[in-house]
Amino acid sequence: MTTVRRVGVVGAGTMGSGIAIVTARAGIETVVREVSPERVQEGRKRVEAFFDGGVKRGKLSPTEKDEHHGRFRWVTQDSDLAECDVVVEAIWENLDAKKELFGRLNDVCPPETIFVSNTSTLSITAMAAGSGRPDRVVGMHFCNPAPLMKLVELSRALQTSDEAFERARAFGEQLGKVLVSTKDTPGFIVNLFLIPFENDCIRALEAGLGTVEDIDTAIKLGLGYPMGTFELLDVVGLDIHYEVSMSLYRELHDHRFAPPPLVSKMIEAGYLGRKAGRGFYTYEAAGVFGA
């Protein structure tokens, strides 16, 4: 299987920046495309903060940090992705926007380029249908935060060729990820279970069943989870949780996927989690990707 030399990442928000960090750390030239210089700068700050944190904690040498940074190109034009072997989209969860993006990239990228979507809520089959190259579209859901989580859920559209699917699997393995294959259905495996569980925990908090600390302790010691629900939500970000919850709720029409009112209140207050310095817990300083 051909080794991926150059990856394009479209979107430099929490997920896009995280995926770009993963690809750069794997030694791959990484081209990150955002819609404006301002959004590019925001993405760069996320990436720089992550690597700076690694140096401070002794997990990364200054030389390694510079090597990782040297693999990045930050761009604002689709045409800058023309030489990428794989393009990963990590834009907002809107099917029409993702189809339109892939349609544009189809005119830019060579026929052999694989298009990957990081969605975990929208139909890969529907995205493939609007891409111009339906046999070369694959779903790869990187668990958040992507630089820290090993799991990637791999999903094929009805139209995805065996060759493209295996290339996507080889790409994930090149990144050092653990891959599981899952059906093209909203939520795949992880979020189909996780999102309603997280929402149930938030509702339990709203109902006064226990404090944040008590519920997290019960989950860790009673269920054997490595992190409490509220600890995890603070790492992921309340804004990301809201977006994924609403997307799954619109797809599945199950009330357990609808985010409880407390989520919206916390977002309005700016309590987004670790990245904001405050979420369900309070932190000494804002951190990137839970770092």
Q: Which of 191, 199, 245, 247 is the catalytic position? A: 191
Among 93, 117, 141, 247, the active-site one is 141
Query: Is 253 an annotated catalytic residue?
Result: no
Q: Tokens representing 249?
A: 């709720």
Residues contacting 117, CB < 8 A, separation 6+: 88, 89, 98, 124, 127, 137, 138, 139, 140
Q: Which of 117, 120, 245, 247 is the catalytic position?
A: 120
Which listed residue (29, 153, 198, 231) is catalytic? Answer: 153
CA distance 32 to 29: 10
Residues 6+ apart with CB under 8 A from 92: 11, 243
The three-class DSSP label of residue 161 is coil
Is-catalytic flag, 153? yes
DSSP character for 249?
H
Strands 151-156 and 137-142: antiparallel
Q: Which of 181, 199, 180 is nearest to 252 (CA)?
A: 199
* Number of alpha carbons in the 13 Å side-chain half-sphere of residue 36: 3
Helices (H), the chain: 14-25, 37-56, 62-69, 95-106, 124-129, 162-174, 190-206, 212-223, 229-236, 238-252, 261-269
Q: 199 catalytic, yes or no? A: no
Contacts for 130 with CB less than 8 Å, ≥ 6 apart? 99, 100, 102, 103
141 catalytic residue (yes or no): yes
Catalytic positions are 120, 141, 153, 191
